[in-house]
Amino acid sequence: AMSLAARLVALVPTRSRAARPNAHHRRGIVVMASATSTDASFVGRWTRDGSRSVNAEAYLRSHGLDASKAAERAAAPYEQEWRETGAEEGEFLVLTDPGTGRGVRSLVYPIGEWEEEFKGASELFGAEPGVAYRNTTYNQIPHLGPVHLTESATPLGWETTQRTLSKDGNEMVVDRSFTPRMPDGSAGEKISSKEYFTRVMVFRPLDAS
Over residues 44-65, the pLDDT tens digits come to 999 999 999 999 999 999 988 8
Inter-CA distances, 6 with 11, 147, 198, 206, Å: 9, 26, 30, 19
Mean pLDDT calculated for residue range 93-112? 88
pLDDT above 70 covers a percentage of the chain that reads: 76
Strand partners, 176: 161, 193
User: What is the model's pLDDT at position 9?
Assistant: 41
> Per-residue confidence at 175, pLDDT binned at 50, 70, 90?
very high
> Per-residue confidence at 35, pLDDT binned at 50, 70, 90?
very low
Confidence check: pLDDT of 164 > 90 = yes
> Per-residue confidence at 206, pLDDT binned at 50, 70, 90?
confident
Confidence check: pLDDT of 208 > 80 = no
State which of 13-27, 127-141, 163-177 shows the largest mean pLDDT.
Answer: 163-177
Question: Phi and psi for 60 in degrees, rounded to 5?
Answer: -70, -40
Mean pLDDT calculated for residue range 99-124? 83
Strands 29-32 and 23-26: antiparallel
Mean pLDDT calculated for residue range 143-164? 94
Lowest-confidence region among 1-5, 66-70, 111-115, 118-122: 1-5
Lowest-confidence region among 23-32, 68-77, 130-139: 23-32
Compute the distance between CA of residue 131 and CA of residue 152 in angstroms, rounded to an integer.
10
- Closest to 157 (Cα-Cα) out of 123, 188, 114: 188
User: What is the model's pLDDT at position 1?
Assistant: 52
Inter-CA distances, 4 with 95, 115, 152, 209, Å: 14, 11, 18, 17
Compute the distance between CA of residue 11 and CA of residue 23 in angstroms, rounded to an integer.
17
| Cβ-contact 41, 81 below 8 angstroms | no
User: What is the model's pLDDT at position 13?
Assistant: 39
